[in-house]
Structure 1
């Protein structure tokens, strides 16, 4: 959106992807249950703060497929394209805020998190 009387474009907040592959989470059953409770608490905190967009875990029991431009469905996916684990998308004002939320999620999940920034898209 362009602000009236100026050439400056207002982007608003940025969306960040915080994620981890399932193999990064090596926990005992008791540790896993604690991680579930603690990670859900962090998500509730993000919702209360108004920064939560969506998140969840990839259902690894359902095989991914590749859908081509003509609609053909294939079991062959892009090389290196196998996505596992969990993810959270947050909308935040700064990268520093994103790093802090990634730290909270890492602590609750007991594994390091990858942080990626979505490119700005005025249509989203």
Structure 2
């Protein structure tokens, strides 16, 4: 089975005033469904209040990021699924719950996992 990353940037999730709890409830329902189906690997939102650091191989930590990843934020879900079509179906469920489009990417096969 392949692991898929389903994600969205913070700015894509625009929730009308008064609808926040409905989005939370819908999102939690999709997470429960994925866990019950046995496809859940990991999910969560980036804590944007904690600044990123770049860590070198020697352990040196420097404030900031790679220039091309300066905007990593938002929500991320990793599911392990039998097909690309199944990944599209789960991404659609998450998009409906979060009320914003989701980006879908496949992880490369890792024979050790």
TM-score by length of structure 1 reads 0.87
Candidates 42, 65, 75, aligned match of 1:54: 42
Q: Which secondary structure does the structure 2 equivalent of 1:18 belong to?
A: strand
Aligned counterparts of 2:51 and 2:64: Cα–Cα separation in 1? 10
Aligned counterparts of 1:47 and 1:97: Cα–Cα separation in 2? 15
Q: Deviations over 1:82-122 (max 9, x none)?
A: 31111110000000000000000000000000000000111
Structure 2 gaps of 5+ residues are none
Question: What residue is the counterpart of 2:58 in the other structure?
Answer: 70
Candidates 3, 21, 25, aligned match of 1:37: 25
Pairwise CA distance, 1:31: 1.9
Question: What residue is the counterpart of 2:5 in the other structure?
Answer: 17
* Runs of 4+, deviation exceeding 3 Å: none
Structure 1 gaps of 5+ residues are 1-12
Greater relative CO, 1 or 2 (CA 8 Å, sep 6+): 2
Question: What residue is the counterpart of 1:95 in the other structure?
Answer: 84
Aligned-pair RMSD on alpha carbons? 0.9
